[in-house]
Structures are given as C-alpha cells and as structure tokens.
Amino acid sequence: MDRPPDLPRRRFLHLAGTTVGLAATSACASAARSNGPGARGASGISGPGVPLTVDRTYKPTRFDPWIELDRAAWAHNVREAARLAGGRPILAVVKNNAYGLGDRAVGPMLAGMSQVGGLAAVRVEEALAMREEGVTKPIVVMAEGSEDEIEEMVRHDVLPSVWLDDAPGRLRNVSRRLGRPVPVQLFIDTGMNREGMPYTRARSWIEELVQSQHVDVNGTYTMFTHDLDFDREQHARFEELLGWARGKNLPLGTLHAAPTYELFHLPEAHYDMVRPGNALFGNPPGEEAREMADLRPVFSLKTRVVRVEHLEPGDSAGFNRTFMPDRATWVALLPIGRTDGYPSQANGTCEVLINGRVYPVAGGVNSAHTILDIGPDKTVEVGDVATLIGPDHPAVLPHTVAERTELGFLRIIQSMNPRLPRRVV
C-alpha cells in the first residue's frame, strides 16, 4: 500500500519535539535552582504546533499535573482479553482519544503488543494521529466518511467503514481518484440502530460491494447492545447473513463483533478477532466479570504539592470559606482542578495519596486548584508527588473515585484534559 509522503513532516515533528525538550530541560534546571513554586512557569513549554504526546512535554520536575500510563498493566489487561478470546487477535478500541487517556500515547503502546492485531478509532483525526506516532498495524475507523475523508484515510493506510446505501457510489469515485480499489470494512446493523447497514436490506448492498472492482472488502462486523438475550438474537441475525454470503461465495474479510461485554459473555461471537476497549482500560463489564478476569488500573493522575500552610481554628481555605477547621491543621495546595479532569464532586468525598498516606479533599476542587486537609502534623512538603487517581492505594483507584463522585469510570477517564502530558512508565 502506498505510504503518504509524510516522512519529512514526522521527522520535522520529531526534531521539533527534541528542540523543545532541550530548551525545557535547561529551563527546568534553572527553575530547580530557584527552588520553589516559582519554578512552575518553566513547565509551560508546549508551544503551538507541538503535538501533545508522550514524553514531549513531561518533565520530572514539573508541578503541573500529568498522566502516567502503566505499560505493564496495559500488557496484563491485553493478555487477559486475549485469554478470554481464546488467543484470537485483539482489535483494540482506542476511540474518543483513547477514552480520554490519549490516543497518541495509548495507540502506539497497544500496537506494540503482539496480541493486538490492530486499532479501532471513530474519528479520522484519531487514526491519522496514531499513524503520525508511528503505528504500522491496521487501523479501522468505525465511522462513515465523505469521499474526501475516505480518500485521506486510504492515503494513510487507514481502513474506513461503510454502512450507508450510497457507499458503493462513493467508493467508486474515491477508487477512480486513487487509481486502485478502496479497502473497507462493512459495518452491519443487527438491531442496535446506531451505526451499520440494516441486516434486513444488506444483501444486495454486500453483493454490489464485494463484486465491485473499486472495492476491497477487508472485514465485516456488527455491534451488540449488551442485552444478553437480544445479543443472541443479534448474533443469529449476523450468522444468517454470513451464511448467506458463504453460500454465494462472497468473501467478507475478517469477521469481528465482540466489544468488552460480549468478550466476557458471548464467546460464540468472538469470530476472527475481538474488539474491546473498556477491558483494556481496566474496566470490567459488571461485578460478575471481576471473577472472570483480573483487569488492572492502567493510569495515574499525578501532580506535585505547590504550597503547604498552617491553619488555626477560625481560619478558612477556598472560595466561600469551603474548609473551616475547628482545630489547628495543615492544608496542601495541588495545582490541578476540574479543567484537568479532576471532578469537583471529589471535594468532601475523595482522598489523595501522598507519600503512602491519603488525605481528604477539603477546600474545594476549583478550575485549576485543589485543597487538601493534611491534619495536625506537617507530613507533606512542597514538591511531593500527589496521586489523585492510580493503582497504589484503594482510596485512589479509578473505580473508587468513580464511585465516590458518582460519575462512573468512563466519565472520569473521558474528562482527562487532552493537554495533560502522557508519560508511559
């Protein structure tokens, strides 16, 4: 397949990242000498045009928040998913900016694992970003595209999906522009009525696409509703369609159907490969699934303490005097807030891990600041690393934060600010 002439651009980005990194290192060195919160200004190094991605903006000396991605935990979850799938390859779903955790970091990391056969996104930009980060395995975009979008995907070796009635015509036009058949994935709707060509009128459409000299059907898939009884009905509908295609000698490419829920609960739908997202991100589909696989938290949300102050009874901290202790206590300020993705509902419900101990969020979660109650002893210092979400203590597990804030796991991770640097550890 033709590769786009994007190498010079990638090389340029790489060089730009290196330059920025060097500039920031010396800035941080002098900031470290100045030894205090004044050093914070030095970490604002992400200029326009610099892609926000792994290790390009993260500096070990920063106070500002960052996200750590635990490669070993991701690899563990991938192994668990592959085990549930009986060793079938995984089409790893990293849509929606990798569910908030960062596709430029998560995509290449997952693509580097042998059990992962490819990646699936829902936006063209996501797929192109991951190609730009060096992913060479197949990438499927699980969305319909305009002719221009399909052309751009094919030029970058990304597989578009089609499901609209007029897909054969659009693919013919794109194929003529490119001078070669367009590889596509066929998305069949078996009853969810979200995306997909309705199975009820898919036959002539499939026949036309498979027989078209302008189209190369690379794969065919459906999506389940997660209602197990109806899943079985959907499976039967898909099977009937596949049986018909086999009978007519219409090759449909790689078959896939199972996202996380059906990876766990509908083994007959595992087909040629499985298509989970949530499982890889450490989110099992329900309590009973925790018995079936050991899924681990894959990320941490961290920052550093920028201020520690002593309060006397009568003092207060935060807007509207949110925290009014009736005893002498210490408070610590974290330079992280709602803008970064730490939810305001954490105030009064969540705790933060610093040096092996957890401290309650007490003085509010503002746009960019969070205030902790440290207690009567000054057990925290400026510069200490604070883990707001992570695997190292039950109180800060992603699922604990999700429960205490009543937001749910996906809401928590989808809220992570795309600009937070991602660091694979």
Contact set with ligand PLP (CB under 6 A): 93, 95, 142, 223, 259-260, 275-278
The residue (of 260 and 303) whose beta carbon lies closer to ligand PLP is: 260
Helix 228-247, helix 203-211: angle, nearest 10: 50
- Report the candidate in 329, 339, 335, 367 with the shortest Cα–Cα distance to residue 352: 335
Least distance from C-beta 277 to ligand PLP, angstroms?
Answer: 3
CA distance 77 to 299: 12
Least distance from C-beta 339 to ligand PLP, angstroms?
Answer: 26
The residue (of 219 and 259) whose beta carbon lies closer to ligand PLP is: 259
Residue type present at position 108:
P
Least distance from C-beta 168 to ligand PLP, angstroms?
Answer: 22
Least distance from C-beta 371 to ligand PLP, angstroms?
Answer: 34
Residue 88: phi and psi, rounded to 5, are -65, 155
Q: How far is CA 43 from the centre of its chain?
A: 24
In the complex, residue closest to ligand PLP by CB: 277
Least distance from C-beta 273 to ligand PLP, angstroms?
Answer: 11
The residue (of 115 and 175) whose beta carbon lies closer to ligand PLP is: 115
Least distance from C-beta 224 to ligand PLP, angstroms?
Answer: 9
* Secondary structure (3-state) at 102: coil
Burial 356-385 (b: 16+ CB within 10 A, else e): eeebbbbbbbbeebbbbbbbeeebbeebee
The residue (of 20 and 122) whose beta carbon lies closer to ligand PLP is: 122
CA dihedral 197, 200, 206, 208 (to 10 degrees): -110
> In this structure, are residues 300 and 401 in contact, taking their beta carbons and an 8 Å threshold?
no
* Secondary structure (3-state) at 359: strand
Question: In whole angstroms, how far apart are CA 35 and each of 24, 62, 383?
Answer: 16, 12, 10
CA distance 87 to 175: 35
The residue (of 91 and 306) whose beta carbon lies closer to ligand PLP is: 91
The residue (of 77 and 347) whose beta carbon lies closer to ligand PLP is: 77
* Secondary structure (3-state) at 255: strand
Measured from the Cβ of residue 311, the count of other Cβ atoms closer than 10 Å reads 19
Where do the DSSP E strands lie in 215-298?
Answer: 215-222, 254-256
Least distance from C-beta 415 to ligand PLP, angstroms?
Answer: 16
The residue (of 212 and 260) whose beta carbon lies closer to ligand PLP is: 260
The residue (of 21 and 198) whose beta carbon lies closer to ligand PLP is: 198
The residue (of 171 and 279) whose beta carbon lies closer to ligand PLP is: 279
The residue (of 175 and 260) whose beta carbon lies closer to ligand PLP is: 260
CA distance 321 to 231: 52
What is the full DSSP assignment across 383-423? Answer: T-EEEEE-SSSGGGSHHHHHHHTTS-HHHHHHTS-TTS-EE
Q: What is the 3-state secondary structure (H, E, C) of 196-228?
A: CEEHHHCHHHHHHHHHCCCEEEEEEEECCCCCH
Least distance from C-beta 189 to ligand PLP, angstroms?
Answer: 11
Least distance from C-beta 129 to ligand PLP, angstroms?
Answer: 18
CA distance 333 to 366: 11
Least distance from C-beta 198 to ligand PLP, angstroms?
Answer: 15
Least distance from C-beta 366 to ligand PLP, angstroms?
Answer: 31
CA distance 58 to 320: 34
The residue (of 269 and 372) whose beta carbon lies closer to ligand PLP is: 269
